Amino acid sequence: MKILIQIPRFISRKRVRRSIAGLLFLCILIGVGWALSHRQAPHFEEKNTMPVNGSISGSLNDSGIEVSTEIMQKELHGENYFVDYRLRRDRTRQEEKTMLTAILNSNVEKTKAEAQQKWLELTSRISKEDEIENLLRIKGFQDGVVDISPSSVNIIIFAASLSPHEISVIQDITMRVADVRIDRINISVRK
C-alpha cells in the first residue's frame, strides 16, 4: 500500500526534497550537539599519584624496570623566561594570522584590503623582531627578546646589567632595523 501525498502546484518536488533534506540535516546537527554536550568525561583510575612539584623514585610497575620521575615547576627566570616568552609570542602571532586568514577569505573588498594591510604589518613586525634578536646575538648578547608595538619597541636582554656601551649598541641596532626614534626604545634586563 503506497501513501500518496498531493503537493500543491506552486510547490515543486525539488523544493520539498530540499526542505526534507534540510530538516534531516538539522535533526542530525541537534543530535550531535546534544550528544557532545551530555558526554561524560572519561574516568581514569588513579595509581601512583603524587603531589604537584613532587618527585618519586623507584619501581612504578611490576615489569622490573626502574623508573624515576620528577615533575618540574615552571620557571620564569633565566633562559627559561626567554623560551617561554617566545612561545607565548608565537602563539599570539599564530592566533592573529588565523583571524586575518579568515578575513582575507571574505568577499568584502574593504575588509579584505584592511586584512591584507594588517597581514603585511604583522609579517614586517615579525621580520624586524627576528632581525634585531639575531643582530643582538651576533654582537655578543647571550639572549634577548624584542617586541615591536605601534608606540614603542621593548627589548629584554638576558644579563645582570648593561654598560652604557651595550645600551648604545642595542639602541643603534633597534633604530636602524625598526626605524624608530631613540625615545621609543625601552630596554630591560632579566637574569
pLDDT of residue 131: 97
Q: How is the chain split into domains, by residue range?
A: 79-190
Residue 138 pLDDT exceeds 80: yes
90: nearest Cα among 120, 54, 130, 139: 130
Grid cell of 191 as nine digits? 637574569
Highest-scoring range by mean pLDDT, 37-46, 107-116, 148-157 = 148-157
E-assigned strand segments in the chain:
55-58, 67-70, 144-148, 153-158, 185-190
Instruction: Tell me the average pLDDT of the chain.
Output: 77
What is 79-190's CATH superfamily?
Answer: Stage III sporulation protein AH-like (1.10.287.4300)
pLDDT confidence bin for 1, thresholds 50/70/90: low
pLDDT of residue 41: 44
Numbers of helices and strands, H then E, in the chain: 4, 5
pLDDT of residue 38: 56
pLDDT of residue 3: 67
Q: Are 143 and 158 in contact (CB under 8 A)?
A: yes
Residues 6+ apart with CB under 8 A from 55: 69, 70, 71
pLDDT of residue 71: 45
Grid cell of 50 as nine digits? 603524587
